[in-house]
């Protein structure tokens, strides 16, 4: 399986990090490509009872049942507006696989790890804790998602 190899170690041979950049709730986010298993179009999602707003339900990923989160809701930006370009990013951390519904994927960039700045602590809001840093791209500022934190906080009972 695509086990992210030692996420603490940013030093790939070149000191570069590759990010999948995407848009959610009209804002730019990015995720270390080592977390990304695949990107799929909108798939059928079965709702879960009494799930929080950001949990859209579960989907079938080659026979496995994985939860799908609305990334926009996770960051308190309201539900994702349905659109042709919406995709579900299949992301993985440790043994857990989840789907993240995002508005649209923009690009994959390769940047020096040193260009990621710490997220300023003054920014409040419900999604603040899932951000590990900020990165300045050509199109503007993008927030780098802390996937382990997101999974840990959004999944109710550790299995």
Partner 1 sequence: MTGPDSFRSLFFEEAEDLLGTLSDEVARLKGGDRDSEIVHSIFRAVHSIKGGAGAFALDRLVGFAHRFETVLDAVRSDQLPLTAELLRIVERSVDHLSVLVEAARNDRDTDTTLTDAAVAVLNGCLDAIGQDKAPADVLQPEAAPAFTFTPLALNLDPIEVEPTRTVTIRFRPYPGLYDNGHEPTLLIAHLAELGTLQTELDLSALPDWSSPDITEPAFAWVIRMATNAKREAIEEIFEFVAGLCDLSIEEEHDIPAMPDLPSPSPMSQDESTPATAPFVMTETTPASATDGLGPRPTLRVDLDRIERLFNAVGELIINQSMIAQRVDDLQMHHDTDMSSHVESYRLLARDIQEAVMAIRAQPVKPLFQRMSRIVREAAEGTGKQAQLVMLGESTEVDKTVVERLADPLTHMVRNSVDHGLESPERRLAAGKDPVGTIWLSAAHRSGSVIITIRDDGAGLDREKVLRVAVTKGLVPAGTELSEAEIDNLIFQPGFSTASATSLLSGRGVGLDVVRTAVQALGGRVNITSRPGKGTEFTITLPLTLAVLDGMLISVGGTSMIVPIAAVLETIRPLPGDVEQIGPDERLLSIRGRYVPIIDLAETLGFPRAEADDPAMLLLLVETEARGTCALLVDRVHDQRQVVIKGLEGNYGQVTGVSAATVLGDGQIALILDPDGIAAQSHPIPSQTSGQRVAALP
Partner 2 sequence: MRITVLAIDDSRTMRSMVRRAMDAAGFVCEVAEDGVEGVRRFEELRPDVVITDINMPRMDGFGVIETIRQDAANRSVPILVLTTETAPEFKARAQTAGATGWIVKPFDDQSLVMVVRRVTGSLR
Residue showing tokens 């951000």: 131
**99 contact partners, CB below 8 Å, separation of at least 6:** 40, 43, 59, 61, 66, 67, 68, 69, 88, 89, 90, 91
- Taking a C-beta distance cutoff of 8 angstroms, is the pair 10, 113 a contact? yes
Beta bridge partner(s), residue 155? none
Residue showing tokens 């609305």: 70
41 contacts partner 1 (rule: CB under 8 A): no
Phi, psi of 46 (to 5 degrees): -95, 125
- With respect to partner 1, which residue has the nearer C-beta, 33 or 58? 58
60 contacts partner 1 (rule: CB under 8 A): yes
Applying CB under 8 A, which of residues 7, 39, 119, 137 lies at the interface with partner 2? Answer: 39
- With respect to partner 2, which residue has the nearer C-beta, 34 or 130? 34
Interaction partner, residue 111 (partner 2, partner 1, none; CB < 5-8 Å by kind): none
- In whole angstroms, how close is the CB of 51 to partner 2 at the nearest point? 27
13 contacts partner 2 (rule: CB under 8 A): yes
What is the binding site for partner 1 (CB under 8 A)? 44, 46-51, 57-60, 63-67, 95-98, 155-159
């Amino acid at each position: 399986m695509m086990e992210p190899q030692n996420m603490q170690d940013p030093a790939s041979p070149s000191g570069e990090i590759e990010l999948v950049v995407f848009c959610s709730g009209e804002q730019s986010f990015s995720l270390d490509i080592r977390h990304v298993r695949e990107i799929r179009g909108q798939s059928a999602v079965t709702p879960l009872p009494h799930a929080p707003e950001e949990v859209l339900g579960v989907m079938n990923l080659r026979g496995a049942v994985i939860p799908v989160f609305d990334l926009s809701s996770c960051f308190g930006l309201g539900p994702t507006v349905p659109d042709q370009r919406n995709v579900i990013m299949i992301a993985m951390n440790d043994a857990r696989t989840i789907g993240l519904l995002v508005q649209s994927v923009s690009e994959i960039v390769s940047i020096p790890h040193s260009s990621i700045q710490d997220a300023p602590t003054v920014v409040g809001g419900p999604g603040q804790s899932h951000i590990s840093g900020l990165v300045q791209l050509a199109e503007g500022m993008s927030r780098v998602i802390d996937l382990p934190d997101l999974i840990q906080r959004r999944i109710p009972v550790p299995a």
